[in-house]
Amino acid sequence: MRIERIEIRYTKMELVTSFETSMGVETHEHHIHVRVDGEGVTGWGECVVEDIPLYSSETVDTAWHVLRDCLVPAVLGRTIGRVDEAVALWARFRGHRMAKAGLESALWDALAKAKGVSLSKFLGGIRDRVPVGVSVGLQASPEALVKKVAGHLAEGYHRIKIKIAPGRDVALVKALRKEFPVLLLQVDANSAYELGDAAVFKAMDDDNLLLIEQPLSYEDIYDHSKLQKELKTPICLDESIHSLADARAAVELQSCRVINIKPGRVGGFSESKKIHDFCASVGVPVWHGGMLESGIGRAGNVALASLSNFTLPGDISASRRYYKQDIVEPEFVIDRDSMMAVPTGPGIGVEVQMDRLERVTVRKQEFRA
């Protein structure tokens, strides 16, 4: 397919409820939506940056720069038959994985649509629905958290992840366990602790957690191997895994027993598939993380999560858990088994609502071959 036109938009979408983590409080999502056109086909992708570098060092402005000055020029006007060819064209640019993943996802959608197959099939997915859960931000008190979680259980979610932070950790787990003894529960620290804090995790080691996500520093692999030795509960790495090489190092050092895959964090679906396949080959389960995406990014996440080794429930909740009104139709919902249907139409399988997209667009730029 000849890449004739690329458009990038900085979008700002208001969250239904603010989301507090050990990194800070978010009230809006600041992402870049990418549109690729060629030979009568339109592909959509989402770049999951934030306005400031909290979760990742990338931001809207760094991704905008790298898209405009490096990635778009690498592919514009070229004929791309397979996504691998585009990845090879920008491989010399180091880092900036969220920027790469944003454009890559639009190319995956466009090429799947050109072939007339769903993105799930195109990526090698095998499921028609995927297990999902909900990621709950820090709440004002343990009581407020219990109430919030009860609400999500009533909505149908079977797996709950809670955010923890120093001083807001063990008591939250104990409060939930008292109220919900058999709930599928996991915690996410977003890198807020040090190895010297091992006692915090030992104090929750008998609480039957599915996993403890990213307890230590955001680029660490070595200290996590020391912490994992002290715990029965599996550690799951999120922030520290940027590539297949990182996944190999983490598995070989026994730094974790589970890996969270987010395409934005690892540079796209191509690298995600490599990590998925490697983990499958060594018996390490993976699950799909989330970055509070709009329906465009969510559609890609659901498609990727339909691959065989995504065995644990993903952070892929219904559109309404994030936004009053999503920018795609149909919106994403969950069924009574806490599962989400994988779209079956060509590409991402959902329709972008241009009027709604325009309303959330802060600025846009187009590039023509």
Among all residues, which ones are annotated catalytic?
163, 262
Part of the chain binding Mg ion (CB under 5 A), chosen from 46-54, 100-108, 113-121, 186-194: 186-194
CA distance 254 to 133: 26
Which residue is at the shortest CB distance from Mg ion? 238
Given CA atoms 50, 51, 57, 58 in this order, what sign does their dihedral have?
A: positive
CB of 135 to ligand OSB, least distance (A): 4
What's 283's DSSP letter?
T
CB of 356 to ligand OSB, least distance (A): 19
Which residues within the stretch 201-220 sit at the binding site for Mg ion (CB under 5 A)? 213
CB of 315 to ligand OSB, least distance (A): 4
* DSSP percent split of the chain into helix, strand, coil, nearest 5: 35, 25, 40
Q: Which does 292 bind (CB under 5 to 8 A by kind): Mg ion, ligand OSB, none?
A: ligand OSB
CA distance 10 to 6: 14
Tell me, residue by residue from 217 to 256, as one string, x for binding to Mg ion by CB under 5 A and - for no binding: ---------------------x------------------
Nearer to Mg ion, 58 or 213 (CB): 213
Among 188, 223, 246, 293, binds Mg ion (CB under 5 A): 188
Secondary structure of residue 107 in the 3-state scheme? helix
Secondary structure of residue 359 in the 3-state scheme? helix
| Cβ-based neighbours of 167, under 8 Å, separated by 6 or more | none
Which residue is at the shortest CB distance from ligand OSB? 290
Q: Which does 360 bind (CB under 5 to 8 A by kind): ligand OSB, Mg ion, none?
A: none
Residue 61 Cα distances to 35, 41, 49, 50, 58, angstroms: 18, 28, 9, 9, 8
Which residues here bind ligand OSB, judged by CB under 6 A? Answer: 55, 135, 188, 190, 238, 289-292, 315, 317
CB of 291 to ligand OSB, least distance (A): 5
Nearer to ligand OSB, 160 or 292 (CB): 292
CA distance 74 to 68: 10
Report cis status (omega within 30 of 0) of the bond before 263.
no
Q: Which does 255 bind (CB under 5 to 8 A by kind): ligand OSB, Mg ion, none?
A: none
Q: Residue numbers of the site for Mg ion (CB under 5 A)?
A: 188, 213, 238
